[in-house]
């Protein structure tokens, strides 16, 4: 509906412009004057010639009366041309004034058709200029409308797709049903929710697998340790070399089983290595934008960022900040304090909520896979955010420090400066 209105308005403006051009090109100066009035003016002047100073105009025309020497004897109003040369130049009507059959002066009838045409042409030009200005204003307004309704939503959609491709499924896509991408963005956000649900189901399955592996490791290691202990005792007590060798073989096999159980336990952590991290030099000014992107609920005041060159992967660093803010939203749901400062060889970004933190005994385990604080028992989550963030920061030659702050859990992202990884 809005597009149709714009096109109708532009068509009307174009019609006005075409008509203005047409009138301006076809308009002509009409230099003719009313012959009856001209003759009446001449006769009245000739009749009053003897007392021309008391002559009164009865025609409504503008004219000047000159004697043969060019002296002005009468004029209907000030500002009229008083020279015969000027009268010829502007195509004024010049008539001889006769008295007793003798030419005694000149009557110059003012011709204002040129000025009238010029004024008419200026009016047409003003209308044309106004139409052009309105046209530009409509086009500019429509461009702003297109930028707000189409281009900006498309860029948001592009950034959202990049985050989803990078594995970030926590930040929702803002939807505006008033723009052309409204239903499309809604479908994308539904896809994100479904992917997140599938990822959480996968995380739960992995957690169950880890729990199963841990239980099996414990259950298998206990009898294996008993077998190994009995074999060690047997090897120590026997004097028979062959029997001792059999006991040593049992001990070696027990050690082999223990190593295989360890490999099985650690194999569940290997899939994280498949996520690529490609750090490069970036300006520290980009950190403010990454923080604002992550704080989509606007719970934090982003401070100025010291100027330096950092060594980081923008996408992964964005995911780190997204994970930290998302954890704060879910588990604390408070305002967030952000501090940015330099440390030796790195830039530190400290993010602290006001949720009271976690117990000191849980702090060392928060960066482990599938580990969550005690306050997260009834909150949806997989326990992967800080684990993944820590992995990304280590791959970027930086670090992630998690501890209880003055008001709540404080997570400090340590970003190495270019050439100064630690």
Rank 1-5, 30-34, 79-83 by mean pLDDT and report only the highest: 79-83
CA dihedral 403, 407, 409, 414 (to 10 degrees): -60
Banded pLDDT at 279 (limits 50, 70, 90): very high
- Burial class (CB within 10 angstroms; exposed 0-12, middle 13-18, buried 19+) of 417: buried
Structure tokens belonging to residue 29 = 């100066």
- Burial class (CB within 10 angstroms; exposed 0-12, middle 13-18, buried 19+) of 60: exposed
* Whether pTM exceeds 0.75: no
Contact by Cβ (8 Å): 330, 383: no
- Determine the Cα–Cα distance for residues 409 and 182; give it in Å rounded to an integer: 37
Structure tokens belonging to residue 234 = 């047997």
What tens digit of pLDDT does each residue of 120-166 get? 777 777 877 787 788 777 777 777 777 777 677 666 666 666 776 66
pLDDT at res. 421? 46
Listing DSSP states for 122-149 in one string gives: HHHHHHHHHHHHHHHHHHHHHHHHHIII
Where is average pLDDT lowest: 54-68, 219-233, 254-268?
254-268
**Whose CA is closest to 294, among 302, 282, 284?**
302
State the number of CA atoms in the 13 A half-sphere of 309 facing the CB.
5
Does the pLDDT of residue 302 top 90, yes or no? yes
Contact by Cβ (8 Å): 406, 416: no
Banded pLDDT at 238 (limits 50, 70, 90): confident
Q: Which residue has the higher pLDDT, 69 or 138?
A: 69
Q: What SS3 class is residue 55? A: coil
- Determine the Cα–Cα distance for residues 162 and 13; give it in Å rounded to an integer: 43
> What is the widest separation between alpha-carbon atoms in the chain?
173
Banded pLDDT at 93 (limits 50, 70, 90): confident
The torsion angles phi and psi of 346, rounded to 5 degrees, stand at: -155, 170
Question: Which residue do the tokens 């920061």 mark?
Answer: 393
Mean pLDDT of 241-262: 79
Instruction: Determine the length of the chain.
Output: 422
Mean pLDDT of 376-395: 76
Where is average pLDDT lowest: 175-179, 195-199, 255-259?
175-179
User: 10 Å Cβ neighbour count for 351?
Assistant: 24
Banded pLDDT at 351 (limits 50, 70, 90): very high
């Amino acid at each position: 509906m809005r597009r149709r209105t714009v096109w109708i308005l532009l068509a009307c403006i174009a019609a006005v412009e075409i008509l203005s051009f047409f009138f301006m090109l076809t308009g002509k100066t009409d230099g003719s004057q009313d012959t009856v009035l001209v003759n009446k003016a001449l006769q009245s002047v000739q009749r009053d010639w003897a007392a021309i100073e008391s002559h009164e105009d009865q025609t409504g025309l503008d004219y000047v009366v000159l004697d043969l020497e060019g002296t002005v004897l009468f004029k209907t109003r000030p500002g009229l041309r008083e020279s015969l040369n000027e009268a010829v130049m502007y195509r004024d009507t010049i008539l001889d004034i006769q008295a007793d059959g003798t030419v005694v002066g000149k009557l110059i009838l003012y011709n204002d058709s040129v000025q009238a045409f010029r004024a008419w042409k200026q009016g047409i030009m003003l209308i044309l200029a106004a139409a052009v200005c309105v046209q530009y204003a409509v086009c500019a307004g429509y461009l702003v409308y297109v930028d707000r309704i189409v281009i900006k939503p498309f860029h948001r959609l592009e950034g959202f797709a990049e985050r989803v491709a990078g594995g970030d499924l926590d930040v929702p896509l803002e939807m505006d049903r008033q723009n052309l991408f409204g239903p499309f963005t809604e479908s994308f956000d539904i896809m994100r929710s479904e992917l997140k649900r599938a990822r959480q189901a996968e995380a739960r399955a992995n957690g169950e697998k880890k729990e199963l592996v841990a239980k099996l490791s414990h259950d298998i290691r206990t009898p294996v340790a008993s077998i190994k202990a009995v074999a060690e005792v047997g090897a120590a007590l026997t004097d028979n070399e062959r029997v001792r060798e059999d006991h040593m073989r049992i001990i070696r096999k027990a050690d082999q089983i223990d190593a295989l159980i360890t490999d099985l336990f650690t194999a569940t952590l290997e899939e994280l290595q498949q996520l690529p991290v490609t750090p490069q030099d970036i300006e520290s000014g980009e950190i403010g934008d990454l923080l604002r992107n992550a704080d989509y609920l606007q719970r934090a005041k982003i401070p100025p960022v010291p100027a330096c060159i950092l060594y980081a992967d923008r996408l992964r660093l964005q995911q780190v900040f997204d994970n930290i803010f998302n954890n704060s939203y879910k588990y604390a749901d408070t305002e967030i304090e952000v501090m940015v400062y330099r440390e030796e060889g790195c830039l530190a970004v400290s993010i602290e909520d006001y949720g009271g933190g976690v117990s000191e005994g849980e702090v060392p385990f928060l960066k482990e896979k599938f580990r969550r604080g005690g306050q997260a028992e009834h909150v949806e989550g997989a326990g992967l955010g800080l684990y993944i963030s820590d992995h990304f920061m280590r791959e970027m030659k930086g670090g992630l420090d998690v501890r209880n702050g003055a008001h709540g859990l404080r997570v400090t992202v340590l970003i190495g400066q270019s050439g100064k990884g630690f």
